[in-house]
Every structure is written in structure tokens, then in C-alpha cells.
């Protein structure tokens, strides 16, 4: 009886090793054949802040998907680069820290390069230029920078507009800044009169102006155009790959096509 049990144990062990060998073979075969398949399935994770129509936003009336110019541009560029795209939504001021921590592969969020950001990330070529607007209520009486004395001005946290607001506050007596994470919240505060004005970019402001007849604006003077670019980790080879894809999309007329699709309010 013991002998039978011994042979049964040995037979079971041999069978288990045989099955294990088959599994390893299949896995290796899959990995070998997957060199081309794996390339097709490579994923780049893009960080964005989906509160910045028409660059990136969610139209809750339609779906929970993030849509916009930046999303379509990223899809087209990463497809040319040989990647699939995955989009992560987060607060704007979390984007660069997430990129530095390796939580996302790149950032595309209507972001403007500046000296501080350029010290910690690499930017691609510009894909769009904007001007800054001061968004106000029509009855606010604010028509120029001089009218901001003693007023509260809203800006998005960690944005180029926050930097501009700080610069204006140094020149304009009594002007205060109110920084928030999300643009829709700032627009609502302006509409309710809890904030007197909001600094935001032309195409973003124009979309809100179209939807809200009680809002007005003026173009902030003595400012440079604000270029938009994608951000990658320092030294990443993907920066040059994205630039190449962007050049091809420009030559093909795809970028102009996307501008016509998303930047309808001019």
C-alpha cells in the first residue's frame, strides 16, 4: 500500500511539472510574439485638469468622458507615436507634481511654459497661443486695470494667470487675489458677485461669455501671448517624439481641423 502511494505521489509530481512546463512555454511564446502586439498596446498616461473648456472638460449632459481640443490633439499625436492614450483628470496644481512622481507620462492641459515650470519639466513646441482676458459682470464698472483698485480678482491655483494676477496686485492699490482649483467655480463666484473679476484665457472666456449674457470682459494690456505646450519629464525622449508628431499633424492640416472643431467662439 505504501509502495502504491509512493508511485502515485511520483506520478502526480511528474504531471504537475509537465503542466508547469506547458504554462511557461505558452507564456514565453506569448511574450516573444508580443513584441509587435506589445508595441500596439503601449499606453501613455496623460494628466489633465478637465475644467478648462474647450481645451479639456466634461459635458455632463452628454457623458462622463473628458473631451476637448487637447484630448483630440493628444489622441492624434500619441497614435502617430505608436501609443494608446489614457487620460487622468486631476487638479491643475497637481499636474507637474504627478509628472515628477511618475504618476503620469505627460501633461496636456492648456499649460503655458514659464521659467519656474521649465526648471523641472521639458516642454514641447507650442501648439496654440492665447491672450488673457479679465472676465467680469456687465454691471461691474470694470473696464480696465485701473478699475481693479480695491477689487477681488479670481485666478486658478498654480496657473500662469495666478502669476499675472500677482504682478497686477503689486501695481494696483488694494487689489486682492482669490485662488481656486477650478475655473467653473471661479466663474460662478463672479456671477454671484463674490469675486469682482476673473483672469482667464481668451478662448476659455469667450465660451463662458457665449453662455452667460450677464458677463463681460476686457483684454489685459501689456501682455505677451501665452503659448500652450505639452510637458514631459526632464530628459524624456518622448518630448522629441511628440514634437515630431505635432509637426506632422500641422503639415497634414489636422491641428487646424481641431481648432475649427473646438475653437468655434471667435
Q: Any idea what the CATH number is for the domain that residue 232 is in?
A: 3.40.190.10
Whether residue 193 is contained in a domain is answered as yes
Is position 32 within any domain?
no
Residues 160 and 181 in one domain: yes
**Using CA of residue 231, residue 99, residue 239, residue 70, what is the dihedral sign?**
negative
197 and 125 in one domain?
no
139 with 121, same domain?
no
Together in a domain, 218 and 89:
no
Q: How high is the pLDDT of residue 41? A: 64
Asked if residue 28 is part of any domain, the answer here is no
As for how many domains the chain has, the answer is 2
Sign of the dihedral through C-alpha 218, 222, 228, 231: negative
Residues 109 and 235 in one domain: yes
Q: Is the preceding omega at residue 54 within 30 degrees of 0, hence cis?
A: yes
- Strands 43-48 and 84-89, bridge-based pairing: parallel
CB 67 within 8 A of CB 56: yes
- Does the residue 112 lie in any domain? yes
The whole-number pLDDT of residue 222 equals: 82
Whether residues 145 and 174 share a domain: the answer is yes
Torsions phi, psi of 59, nearest 5? -95, 90
- Comparing CA positions, the residue from 48, 92, 260 lying closest to residue 180 is 92
Domain membership of residue 63 (yes or no) is yes
- Does 88 reside within a domain? yes
For 31-50, how does the pLDDT look when each residue is reduced to its tens digit (9 = 90+)?
Answer: 333 344 444 569 999 999 99
pLDDT of residue 258: 97
Query: pLDDT tens digit string along 120-154?
Result: 999 999 999 999 999 999 999 999 999 999 999 99
For 140, the domain range is 132-224
HEC profile for the chain?
CHHHHHHHHHHHHHHHHHHHHHHHHHHHHHHHHHHHHHHHHCEEEEEECCEECCCEEECCCCCCCEECHHHHHHHHHHHHHCCEEEEEECCHHHHHHHHHCCCCCEECCCCCCCHHHHCCEEECCCCEEECEEEEEEHHHCCCCHHHHCCCEEEEECCCHHHHHHHHHHHHCCCCEEEEECCHHHHHHHHHHCCCCEEEEEHHHHHHHHHHCCCEEEEECCCCCCEEECCEEECCCCHHHHHHHHHHHHHHCCHHHHHHHHHCCCC
8 Å CB contact between 125 and 113: no
Which CA distances in Å does 230 have to 77, 90, 185, 245? 11, 16, 25, 12
Residues 98 and 56 in one domain: yes
The Cα diameter of the chain in Å comes to 102
Do 232 and 120 have their domain in common? yes
Residues of the chain with pLDDT under 50: 1-39, 266
> Looking at the structure, do residues 117 and 240 belong to the same domain, yes or no?
yes
pLDDT value, residue 40? 58
Same domain membership, residue 163 and residue 83: no
Residues 102 and 83 in one domain: yes
Q: Are residues 220 and 139 in the same domain?
A: yes
Select from 182, 205, 185, 220 the least CA-distant residue to 265: 205
Does 6 reside within a domain?
no
Confirm if 99 and 106 have CB atoms less than 8 A apart: yes
Q: What is the pLDDT of residue 224?
A: 74
Amino acid at each position: 500500500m505504501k509502495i502504491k502511494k509512493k508511485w502515485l505521489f511520483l506520478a502526480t509530481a511528474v504531471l504537475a511539472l509537465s503542466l508547469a512546463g506547458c504554462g511557461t512555454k505558452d507564456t514565453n511564446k506569448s511574450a516573444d510574439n508580443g513584441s509587435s502586439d506589445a508595441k500596439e498596446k503601449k499606453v501613455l498616461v496623460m494628466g489633465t485638469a478637465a475644467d478648462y473648456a474647450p481645451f479639456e472638460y466634461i459635458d455632463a449632459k452628454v457623458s462622463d468622458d473628458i473631451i476637448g481640443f487637447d484630448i483630440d490633439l493628444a489622441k492624434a499625436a500619441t497614435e502617430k507615436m505608436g501609443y494608446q492614450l489614457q487620460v487622468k483628470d486631476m487638479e491643475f496644481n497637481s499636474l507637474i507634481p504627478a509628472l515628477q512622481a511618475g504618476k503620469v507620462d505627460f501633461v496636456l492641459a492648456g499649460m503655458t511654459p514659464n521659467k519656474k515650470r521649465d526648471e523641472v519639466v521639458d516642454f514641447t513646441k507650442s501648439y496654440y497661443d492665447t491672450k488673457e482676458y479679465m472676465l467680469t459682470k456687465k454691471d461691474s464698472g470694470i473696464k480696465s486695470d485701473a478699475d481693479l483698485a480695491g477689487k477681488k480678482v479670481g485666478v486658478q491655483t498654480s496657473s500662469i494667470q495666478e502669476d499675472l494676477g500677482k504682478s497686477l496686485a503689486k501695481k494696483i492699490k488694494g487689489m486682492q487675489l482669490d485662488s481656486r482649483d477650478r475655473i467653473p467655480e471661479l466663474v460662478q463666484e463672479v456671477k454671484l458677485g463674490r469675486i469682482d473679476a476673473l483672469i482667464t484665457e481668451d478662448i476659455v472666456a469667450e465660451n463662458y461669455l457665449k453662455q452667460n449674457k450677464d458677463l463681460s470682459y476686457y483684454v489685459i494690456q501689456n501682455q505677451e501671448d501665452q503659448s500652450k505646450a505639452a510637458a514631459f519629464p526632464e530628459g524624456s525622449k518622448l518630448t522629441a517624439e511628440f514634437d515630431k508628431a505635432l509637426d506632422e499633424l500641422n503639415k497634414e492640416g489636422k491641428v487646424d481641423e481641431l481648432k475649427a472643431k473646438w475653437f468655434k467662439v471667435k
